[in-house]
Amino acid sequence: MAFPMVQHGLEMNEIAGHCAAPIDAGVSVRCEKVSPAPRQIADPLFILSAPRSFSSVVCAMLGQHPQMYGLPEMHLFGDERLEGWFRLGSGDTLRHGLLRAVTQLCFGAQTERNVKLADAWLKRRSSFTSGMIFEELALRAAPAILVDKSPSMVYSLEAMQRAYRFFPQARFIHLARHPRGHGQSVLKYLQELGKPEYRIKDAIPAWIDDLASFSYSPAAWEGEPKELKDPQCGWYVLNRNIATFLKSVPPQQWMVLRGEDLLREADRGLRQVARWLGLRTDTEAIEEMKHPERSPYSRFGPRGAGIGNDMFFLKDPVLRPARGDAHSLEGPLDWRKDGMGFLPEVKELAQRLGYR
């Protein structure tokens, strides 16, 4: 049975119904000189996806549409107020995305000096809600639609619900990746981050190690060693969280998009997304979206805010259709030595997302 590249919420309520309860797992430009912001903002677009699911390239692609603005990873909605974001710590690279966005949108250029100004700008607003901060940035980007893709949101229903509560007319894309391709990517990323040149504070980031060995049920792998690396469990829980959240969102405000299909048939997929958003679908607009490397966030930033996105995407931020290779849900997993395949619940959810 053939599946469309894009599946709208009206067609996908069955997925949400299937899911069980979630497991949460230069020269600087002063802000005062920026042109006055419009009074209204466009309803934002949130990309919801597990890490290692093409979200960096997809967000950058969508952000190149003349009527959209793609952001780096903001990690704003994990807390009600911005003061929670500050608890990440000054040396945490998870802060880089928001710093880069403020530096670019409020101070006109991503420079080391402007990063310090952006940090002060945020400190003055530490009591603001995360929604108010996002709205201030949306005013700067208006009339363009802000596109956010912070993977941390999908670890918690509360974070997704908070974004929806602040922006009840927002659109959501459930960006999926085949669990086999996702697992291979997670383990490759983990291996790469183990190299000395990528290590931060002499340690591999905990989130990627957790994603590779996530266990959502004590009985899932009874008797297996804790250090076993099998990313299918993390894939299942995070995609299940997304589908569960989307039960609370009107079907016309969300869609499911398979990342492999978009990379492989970019013109078709990008046009479908733009049409769903009510935006331009002409050849010029679609062609712009095929150049994610043109985003101001598709490169490393200045000292103090150098990352803010997937570091391997930042090294080579181009559209690569070959990454859209198809995978099968059948057969053994190449990262397991026992010849075991996908768990039944993983296969079922993947099938509901349109994978075979």
List, for residues 90-112, the tens digit of each pLDDT value. 667 889 999 999 999 999 999 99
Q: How confident is the model at residue 227 (pLDDT cuts 50, 70, 90)?
A: low
Q: How many domains, the chain?
A: 1
Q: How confident is the model at residue 88 (pLDDT cuts 50, 70, 90)?
A: confident
Query: How many helices (H) and strands (E) in the chain?
Result: 15, 6
Sheet containing strand 45-48, strands side by side: 6-8, 254-258, 171-176, 45-48, 145-148, 68-70
Q: Establish if 228 belongs to a structural domain.
A: yes
pLDDT of 6 reads 61
d(CA 286, CA 271): 7
Residue 33, pLDDT above cutoff 50 = no
pLDDT of 27 reads 38
Q: Establish if 305 belongs to a structural domain.
A: yes
Residue 199, pLDDT above cutoff 70 = no
Domain that holds residue 197: 6-352
Which CATH number do you get for residue 221?
A: 3.40.50.300
- The average pLDDT across 161-188 equals 96
pLDDT of 324 reads 86
Residue 17, pLDDT above cutoff 50 = no
d(CA 11, CA 353): 11
pLDDT in tens, 315-337: 999 999 988 889 999 999 999 98
Instruction: Fill in the DSSP letter of residue 194.
Output: T
Residue 314 CB coordination number (10 Å): 18
d(CA 302, CA 100): 9
Q: Establish if 1 belongs to a structural domain.
A: no
pLDDT in tens, 288-311: 999 999 999 999 999 999 999 998
Structure tokens at 40: 């209204």
Radius of gyration, CA atoms only, the chain? 20
pLDDT of 26 reads 41
Q: How confident is the model at residue 40 (pLDDT cuts 50, 70, 90)?
A: confident
- The average pLDDT across 206-210 equals 73
pLDDT of 216 reads 59
- Amino acid (1-letter code) at residue 349: L
Among candidate residues 340, 349, 343, 317, the one with its CA nearest the CA of residue 70: 317
Q: Among positive and negative, which fits the CA dihedral 55, 60, 65, 66?
A: positive
For 46-63, the three-class secondary structure string (H helix, E strand, C coil) is EEECCCCCCHHHHHHHHH
d(CA 342, CA 222): 15
Q: Establish if 282 belongs to a structural domain.
A: yes
DSSP E strand stretches across 171-267:
171-176, 254-258
Phi, psi at residue 133, to the nearest 5°? -65, -45
CA 228 to chain centre: 26
Polymer length of the chain? 356
Residue 25, pLDDT above cutoff 50 = no
pLDDT of 110 reads 98
Cis-peptide into 143, omega within 30 deg: yes
pLDDT of 91 reads 63
Among candidate residues 278, 327, 304, 262, the one with its CA nearest the CA of residue 4: 262
Q: Establish if 245 belongs to a structural domain.
A: yes
Phi, psi at residue 174, to the nearest 5°? -85, 100
Q: Establish if 13 belongs to a structural domain.
A: yes
> DSSP labels for 70-134?
E------TTSSBHHHHHTT-TT-GGGHHHHHHHHHHHHSS--HHHHHHHHHHHHTTTTSBHHHHH
Round the average pLDDT of the chain to a whole number and report it.
86
